[in-house]
Amino acid sequence: MTPTGIGLSMFTGMLVLMALRVPIAAAMFIPGALGYWAMTSEPALLNQLKGSAVARLTVYDLSVIPLFLLMGQFATQGGLSKALFKAAAAFVGHIRGGLAMASVLSAGAFGAVCGSSVATSATITQVAYPEMKAHGYHGRLSTAALAAGGTLGILIPPSVPLVVYAILTEQNIAKLFAAAMLPGLLAMFGYLVVIAIYCRVRPDLAQPSAPLPWAARWRALVGIWPIVLIFVLVFGGIYSGLFSPTEGSAVGAVATLVAGLAQRELDLQGLKRSFLGTAETSAMVFLIFLGADMMNASLALTAMPAALAEWVGHLHVPPLAIVTSILIFYVLLGCVMDELSMLLLTIPVIFPAVMSLDLWGLAAEPKAIWFGILVLMTVGIGLIAPPVGLNVYVVNNIARDVPMSETYKGVFPFLAWDALRVALLLAFPMLSLGLVQLLYK
Amino acid sequence: MIVATLRRLALAFALVGAAAALAAALLTVTSVVLRALTTRPIQGDVELTQFAIAFAISLTVPWCQWRGANIIVDFFTQRLRAARVRQLDAVGALLIAVMFALLSWRSGVGAVAVYQAGETSMIRSLPMWWVYASLSPGLALAALIALLQAGLLFQGQSLKRLQDATP
């Protein structure tokens, strides 16, 4: 068989296995290994495998993933989300739809110490959904706001998918985090506007409640100091150059543990739950890495990614149209695949092609950073868009009395803002690059 | 009996793994503080963190497999009967068992090769074969668990009850 033939067979085999419920890690690993064997020899494959686990698991920059996951788990089990929601609800809860806004605000703040959207959605839903239900909020609005708000877990740094992108494209994690900050805040405030408009059009969805006295508001605000402190410590440390992102994630994990213990919220059971939650997700992420490594090593041997980059580079199509098509492809792919597998599988192939395009005359590094944020936002769409939005599953798993179809109906206005935001960032790269330039003059 | 033992082992591995990650975090924080105060960080903190995290992750794999936390695409098979889904999942478990077994076996062989070559780490001159060898047990246990799951699924049993048992 020709290298291209082998490459195509591997790719087809992988897609078939994936469609048949084979764990994605194995669906990439097994055809990848067979392809490697076919391209080289059995000893070469066995030799490659000797070091592949060590090579992947000892990457220093990747240590941020388990450590940020640990930090998010400590924050979850340490009851930090409760204080956040209480504070946000104290200030905006009395507006029509205000508790939904408070959910989005607290999800955004929680996203600043948690890099996973699933963890953010689950945590905030547990505290905010019962409140909204008690106040007579329609399930369509409450669950949709929670699912959309949950995406802020990855849109606002730290962000596991962004770390994965940084590793795959050899970009600076700290710069990518900085580039995500403004678009993330834009997402959050846009969701607030969406809720306000939604409640104006459909006043039956939410009831306003009595405002709290200012003294109570300030008291609730004081309760969120641990989160603020942890965020300032981690990101202040990273951007002042005091420590690297990996060290920052270690500082964050330890600080969140201390905060949880000091507030007497984190007991031995909570610690055990944090450990097991971290274990499950870390292994899941790294297994996908190991599978994708095998697949990508074989694909590289077939020279298909280089050929694709070459082909895209010579297309007579406006570069922005190509990027837009790639993003639309990601939205479609996100309908059936999770975000990490999607990135691990496609970025090694697509990234060189994107880098060969002239986009707004950007230099290589800003272009890579900008494209990373675009991909991140597109991935966020996949998390809430039907037919399979992971966040929608997570929220409905907790809010069991709301049918999933209701949530999907409610999610549309939020999706409209997501699409508009991607378009804005496509047109104005400075939305993400501005802060990077400011911090790294 | 075998089921309970494997489960207890997976749980213990996961807790030790997460504790190792936390230990790496504590080490890093100590080093950062020392560097800020005394300009003398812990020697080789980066490589120690790397090795601890690699070891930690390998230990978390069995628990992930036990819990069925691996990501799958269930979009195209939603309409299938439960029995057919279990057959597909049995094949999936078998394939991931092959992946785990291969990686565990080859990391072990890698350990022997690195031991014979006498390779050591850059800063603290730690013997590198330890790093390779430390990844084998977790992956081997994960392979065993995946095999057990494949067996149960082929017999038409559901894994739900096993997985949901509270730790």
Across the range B2-24, mean pLDDT stands at: 95
Buried b (16+ CB within 10 A) or exposed e, A146-172: bbbbbbbbbbbbbbbbbbbbbbbbebb
Residue type, B15: L
Q: Are A113 and A75 in contact (CB under 8 A)?
A: yes
- A440 token code pair: 């790294």
Helix (H, G, I), strand (E, B) or coil at A285: helix
- Cα A276 from Cα B15, distance rounded (Å): 7
Q: Do A284 and B70 touch (CB under 8 A)?
A: yes
> Any CB–CB contact under 8 A between B99 and chain A?
yes
Please give the helix or strand (H or E) that residue A44 lies within, else none. helix A42-57
Confidence of residue B161 (pLDDT cuts 50, 70, 90): confident
| Nearest residue to A161 (alpha-carbon basis) of A436, A365, A402, A377 | A377
Cα pseudo-dihedral A182, A187, A191, A192, rounded to 10: 0
- Cα B92 from Cα A419, distance rounded (Å): 36
First to last CA, chain A: 52
Longest dimension (CA), chain B: 65
**Length of chain B, please?**
167
ipTM of the complex: 0.95
Is a pLDDT exceeding 80 seen at residue B162?
Answer: no
- Cα A151 from Cα A111, distance rounded (Å): 8
Main-chain phi, psi angles of A326, to 5 degrees: -60, -45
Position of tokens 């998390």?
A383
- Cα A120 from Cα A155, distance rounded (Å): 11
Is a pLDDT exceeding 90 seen at residue B87?
Answer: yes
Across the range B67-71, mean pLDDT stands at: 88
Across the range A340-364, mean pLDDT stands at: 89
Position of tokens 């378009």?
A423
| Chosen from B106, B119, B123 to mutate, greatest number of chain A CBs within 10 A | B106
Q: What is the DSSP letter of A400?
A: T
Main-chain phi, psi angles of A417, to 5 degrees: -65, -40
Return the pLDDT at B126: 87
How many CB atoms neighbour CB A306 within 10 A? 14
Looking at per-residue pLDDT, the higher value among B143 and A211 belongs to: B143
DSSP secondary structure of A234-265 = HHHHHHTTSS-HHHHHHHHHHHHHHHHHHTT-
Q: Are A227 and A83 in contact (CB under 8 A)?
A: yes
pLDDT tens digits along A234-276: 999 999 988 899 999 999 999 999 999 988 888 999 999 999 9
Q: What is the DSSP letter of B122?
A: T
Confidence of residue A231 (pLDDT cuts 50, 70, 90): very high
> Any CB–CB contact under 8 A between B44 and chain A?
no
Task: Work out the minimum CA distance from B162 to partner chain A, whole angstroms.
Answer: 16
| Nearest residue to A192 (alpha-carbon basis) of A105, A81, A106 | A105
Return the pLDDT at B165: 61
Return the pLDDT at A111: 93
> Any CB–CB contact under 8 A between B67 and chain A?
yes
Residue type, B71: I
Enumerate residues 6+ apart whose C-beta is below 8 A from A136. A206, A207
Position of tokens 């997402």?
A187
Enumerate residues 6+ apart whose C-beta is below 8 A from A127. A81, A82, A85, A106
What part of B 115-154 touches A (C-beta under 8 Å)?
131-132, 135, 139
Cα pseudo-dihedral A280, A286, A290, A295, rounded to 10: 100
- Cα A3 from Cα A206, distance rounded (Å): 59
> Any CB–CB contact under 8 A between B91 and chain A?
yes
Q: Are B75 and B90 in contact (CB under 8 A)?
A: no
Is a pLDDT exceeding 60 seen at residue B109?
Answer: yes
Cα pseudo-dihedral A13, A17, A20, A24, rounded to 10: -150
Position of tokens 């607030």?
A192
Return the pLDDT at B166: 55
Return the pLDDT at A32: 96
| Nearest residue to A157 (alpha-carbon basis) of A132, A141, A170, A174 | A174
| Chosen from A50, A284, A288, A345 to mutate, greatest number of chain B CBs within 10 A | A50
Query: For A222-236, A282-296, A309-323, B128-142, which range has the lowest pLDDT when averaged over its residues?
Result: A309-323
In degrees, rounded to 5, the angle at the alpha carbon of residue A111 between the alpha carbons of residues A336 and A94 is 105
- Cα A341 from Cα A25, distance rounded (Å): 8
| pTM greater than 0.80 | yes
Cis peptide bond prior to A158, omega within 30° of 0: yes
Query: Which of A19, A30, A280 lies nearest to residue B73, judging by beta carbons?
Result: A19
Helix (H, G, I), strand (E, B) or coil at B120: strand
Enumerate residues 6+ apart whose C-beta is below 8 A from A63. A246, A249, B24, B49, B50, B53
Q: Are A369 and A433 in contact (CB under 8 A)?
A: yes
Rounded to 10 deg, the angle between the B45-66 and A64-77 helix axes is 60
Confidence of residue A6 (pLDDT cuts 50, 70, 90): very high
Chain B residue with the nearest C-alpha to that of A338: B71
pLDDT tens digits along A105-141: 999 999 999 888 888 999 999 999 999 999 999 999 9
Query: Which of A30, A275, A388 lies nearest to residue B18, judging by beta carbons?
Result: A275
| Chosen from B60, B105, B114, B136 to mutate, greatest number of chain A CBs within 10 A | B60
> Any CB–CB contact under 8 A between B1 and chain A?
no
pLDDT tens digits along A163-219: 999 999 999 999 999 999 999 999 999 999 999 999 999 999 998 888 999 999 999
- Cα A108 from Cα A105, distance rounded (Å): 5
